[in-house]
Chains A and B, each alone.
Chain A
């Protein structure tokens, strides 16, 4: 089981779907960011699994995974900065109360 690529791919597909659900369903902006992190990790797992099972891609996969981790860190920084900025104006982290465009 740990020797089949399919197991890893199915695992990361499920993780990505869980992240999708969280992103769509949660009301808290920070929960949505956590779900995005889950999705990014699912993609990273796919990349690393392909790297492990295709000899030609082994080094490339590690490089790509490291770059993805760095970009995810940048994304988390900016995302949380935006959430903090909105929170200071609206006094709530719930995204369905960010309805200034409706008023």
Chain B
């Protein structure tokens, strides 16, 4: 009978810690690949892996409902949409020789500064909420809250989605009448 030890044998970590490290490393690594990659199709594919790691983190933190929505909406819909758009807009000349703006170093500085500020603020704040033994969010609770107290935001979001669908179709459809002014 094979039993799984409570902690990892050599390191003494809990399995949750190992999972967190793996998922966090995968998340940051694939996010960097998305941002730094030269081939935009591969960027889109790495983005799917990034979203998958994030869904794993949601499960780890005890929120499987949001993880399911993440997989369905982000991996199932948004990634496919973005990949379609990439394939529609890629020019024949292939990926441009210059992926980044010339001012990319300034962007890197800004991003590093932002990360430093956020991490310092997080370290300086004493969150009064350590709660070691938490339980997972149950779908029943979320559903009863969503359809009782938050029914107005829910309906607003559904109207927003409808408006976005109509707007997306309108923006992307071909103009029937030939336009006289060609400079937009």
Residues of A within 8 A of B (CB): 1-11, 13-22, 24-31, 33-35, 37-38, 41, 44-45, 48-49, 51-55, 58-63, 65-67, 69-78, 80-85, 87-89, 91-94, 96, 100
Contacts and interface: CB of A to CB of B under 8 A. Distances in A.
Nearest to A56: B129
State which size class the interface on B falls in. 35 or more
A26 B99 contact: yes
Nearest to A21: B111
29 contacts: A2-B14, A5-B129, A7-B20, A8-B57, A15-B31, A16-B118, A18-B28, A18-B31, A18-B35, A20-B107, A24-B111, A28-B40, A28-B99, A37-B78, A38-B35, A48-B61, A48-B63, A52-B61, A54-B129, A54-B131, A59-B145, A61-B63, A62-B137, A63-B145, A72-B74, A74-B160, A74-B164, A80-B81, A84-B89
A13 B119 contact: yes
Contact of A94 (B96, B161, B167): B96
A15 B27 contact: yes
Contacts of B132: 3
Contacts of A21: 35, 107-108, 110-111
Contacts of B85: 30, 33, 80, 83-84
A8 B137 CA distance: 17
B8 interface: no
The 4 closest A-B pairs by CB, nearest first: A24-B107, A81-B171, A17-B115, A74-B164
A37 B74 contact: yes
Contacts, number: 256
Interface in B13-39: 13-14, 16-17, 19-21, 24, 27-28, 31-32, 34-35
B179 to A, nearest CB: 9
Contacts of A77: 81, 164-165, 167-168
B100 to A, nearest CB: 5
Contacts of A18: 28, 31-32, 35, 111
Nearest to B86: A30
